[in-house]
Structure 1
Amino acid sequence: MSRDEPRFPVSVEIPVAWGEMDALNHVNNVVYFRYFETVRIEYLRRIGMLDVLSTAGVGPVLAETSARYRRPVTFPDTLRAEARVIELDEHGFTMEYRILSQAQQTVTTEGSARVVMVDFGTGRRAPLGEALKRRVLQLEGENNAG
C-alpha cells in the first residue's frame, strides 16, 4: 500500500459464487450491495455496534447507499471487500467501500453509505454516542474520520 493510498481498516474475503452471475456472465449489480453489507456488518461488529443494538434498542439504518462499477467480475474469483468511515457526526457516519478482485489484481467496485442511528422504539434518529465514536476513531487510526 502506497503512503498516499487510503487505509481501509476492515476487510473480508468473499468468494464469488456461480449463482451471483447474471445473464451477461458477470456478477449482478445488486450483489455488490450484499458485499458492502458483509464488510459493513464486520465493521459494526468490531466497534461493538451489534452489542448496543441488542441491549439499547438503538441501531444503524442505511439512509443512502451507492456503488460505482469500474470493472466486471466473473466466476471464479475471490474478492476483498474493504470499509472505512470517512465522516462522523452526532447521529451517524458515512462509510466508504471498495472491492478488489484477486484475479484482476485491482479495484473493481467502489461504494459509499450514509448510516444513521435509530431508536427502534420511537422510530426516530438517535445519537451515535461518544463511546461508539471513540471506537470508530480508534479503529480508523490515522484516518480522517471526524
Structure 2
Amino acid sequence: MDDLLKDFPVITKVPVAWGEMDALQHVNNVVYFRYFETARLEYFDKIKLLVNIADSHIGPVLGETSCRYKLPITYPDTLLIGSRVVDLQDDRFTMEYQIVSQKLGQISTVGKATCVMFDFKNNSKALVPDIVKQAILDLEEQH
C-alpha cells in the first residue's frame, strides 16, 4: 500500500465511521469532501499555512473541488489519504488527493482542490506568501 501513496508527501489516516454510510451501505459521496478537507488541513499544518492568519488576515478559501469515485468504501475500514500540491501560482495552488482503502488495498477515490489565497480584512484575493510558497516547495521536494 505504501507504493500507492509514494508520490504524496502527506498521508492522513482516517477511520470510516458507521454513520458515514448511506442507504446503499457504502460511504456517502459527500463524505469524501470531508475526508479531503481533513487531509488538506493536515497538509496546511505541515506548511504552517494557518499559523499567522489572525494577524495577517490572509488565508486559503476553496475555489474549486472535484472527486472521482473508483471503488465503494464500507464500514469498517481505515483510509489513507495522500495529499500534494501539483500547481503553485501567485495567488492559488492546486492540491491532489488519493484515498487508499486499507481493507481493499486499492485506490478508492481521487480528488482535486484549488485553494485561492484571500485577504479577509479587505475582502479580496491575495498572494500566496513567499514563506508558504517555500514551505510547499520544500515539502514537495522531499518526495
**TM-score w.r.t. structure 2 length?**
0.94
Match in the other structure for 1:117: 117
> SS of 1:112's equivalent?
strand
Using the size of structure 1 for normalisation, the TM-score is 0.92
Q: How many Å separate the matches in 2 of 1:81 and 1:54?
A: 28
Q: After TM superposition, which residue ranges in structure 1, 4 or more long, deviate above 3 angstroms? A: none
Matches within 5 A, 1:37-48: 37-48=37-48
**Cα separation, 2, equivalents of 1:111 and 1:53:** 26
- The yes-or-no answer on 1:8 pairing with 2:19 is no
Task: Give the Cα–Cα distance (whole angstroms) in 2 for the partners of residues 47 and 16 of structure 1.
Answer: 26
Deviation of residue 92 (structure 1)?
A: 1.4
How far apart are 1:52 and its partner, in Å? 2.6
Q: Report what 2:84 is aligned to.
A: 84
Shift of 1:58: 0.5
Identity of aligned pairs, percent? 49
Matching residue's letter, 1:9: P
> How far 1:33 sits from its partner (Å)?
0.2
**Amino acid across the alignment from 1:88:** L
Separation (CA, whole Å) in 2 of partners of 1:22 and 1:62: 26
Aligned residue type for 2:39: V
C-alpha distance in 1 between matches for 2:13 and 2:48? 21
Structure 1: state its 5+ residue gaps.
none
